[in-house]
Amino acid sequence: MAGIPLSDDYPVRRVPAVTYLLIAANVAVYLASPMSLMAVWYGADLGERICAVDHYIFRWGAVPMELFTGRQAASPTPCPGEPAATAPWLTVFTSMFLHGDALHLLSNMVYLFVFGPVVEDRLGRVRYTGLYLASGAVATVAFALTDTAAQVPLVGASGAISGVLGAYLVVQFRSRVITLVFFVLPVRLPGWALVGTYFVLQYVLYVSVSLYPGAGETSVAYAAHVYGFVAGAAMALLIHRIRWRAGTRLSDVY
């Protein structure tokens, strides 16, 4: 989207502690990773640093081939040694907290900061945490299913955050979001329009890449965004239905 969300006008009733902890965890993992120092790495040891990044991503990122075969993928970079192995099922979750660079991290955290508190407030902290992690896991596995032989690691919180956006569309679509349109002009837009546009754009790009894989290489996992969004929306609908039915039964009793 040609815009950056800045704030939502929904008044949350309590501090969104889980959202802040998730943001802090993502930032902390990035700062502790080899990727955070790439911008200031110069000199003869640059090749060693690149290999450190390569080994780190292959160790903690989710590699589709590893998820479905259990075999460790070979890095395409000519680096000495092999990255340490991690249980494939564990990388489904660790990959959510990895980011390739600062811009990747920043863009994800902006969306989580704006939309996460609203969803957390409406669903509750425990349900919100479960939805976040489950959406990210579904996004990762679904992306891997699109090409089970792929050996490129999937990293980033985009799938989980897409799940948060999908849940937002269900629980609080009436809000308005202040957005920097074309990165310059602040405009109040309906939340449903902003989030809906995000999903449509991701879906169109996903279909385009699927139909015309040779049209151009991309490092963006559009499939993960689409499936994460759908998973988040579905889980939010289910949670709302369960809570509504529970509330109806209680009102019948009292």
Render each residue's pLDDT in the chain as its tens digit; 254 residues.
457 888 888 888 899 999 999 999 999 999 999 888 765 555 546 667 778 888 889 889 999 988 888 777 666 666 776 666 778 899 999 999 999 889 999 999 999 999 999 999 999 999 999 999 999 999 999 999 988 888 889 999 999 999 999 999 999 878 899 888 877 788 898 989 899 999 999 999 998 887 766 544 557 889 999 999 999 999 999 987 776 555 544 333 33
Cα–Cα distance measured from residue 194 to residue 74, given in angstroms and rounded to the nearest whole number: 40
CA distance 62 to 198: 24
Sorted by sequence, the CB contacts under 8 Å of residue 45 that are 6+ apart come out as none
CB contact at 8 A, 168 and 190: no
Q: For residue 76, which of 95, 94, 97, 51 has the smallest C-alpha distance?
A: 51
Entry pTM? 0.87
Instruction: Give me the amino acid identity at 105.
Output: L
Cβ–Cβ under 8 Å, residues 145 and 40 = no
SS3 category, 189:
strand
